[in-house]
Amino acid sequence: MPKKTPRYDSKTESRDTLLGFGPKEYKTTVRDNESGKEYKGCSSDEGKSRDYAFKKAKAEE
């Protein structure tokens, strides 16, 4: 039985802001494997960054 490719892939990157004195900034990229489109979310909270990106992807379904 062939392995099914997941609908979405996601990748989150983080970086320090204000030369390390500010909060971390998280940027998530969600890729729709069916359409090839990418959706991005950004927040100072990792979970919210991911949620924002997935909301954008789901809005286009």
Residue range(s) defining the domain that contains residue 40? 8-59
Report the number of distinct structural domains present in the chain: 1
Question: Is residue 47 in a domain?
Answer: yes
Question: Is residue 1 in a domain?
Answer: no
Question: Is residue 25 in a domain?
Answer: yes
For residue 14, how many other CB atoms are within 10 A of its CB?
Answer: 12
Question: Is residue 39 in a domain?
Answer: yes
The pTM score is 0.82
Question: Is residue 3 in a domain?
Answer: no
CA 57 to chain centre: 10
Confidence of residue 4 (pLDDT cuts 50, 70, 90): confident
Question: Is residue 20 in a domain?
Answer: yes
Confidence of residue 5 (pLDDT cuts 50, 70, 90): confident
CB contact set of 52 (below 8 Å; sequence gap of 6+): 28, 41, 42, 43
Q: What is the pLDDT of residues 14-59, one digit of tens each?
A: 999 888 888 999 999 999 999 999 999 999 999 999 999 999 999 9
pLDDT at 1: 64
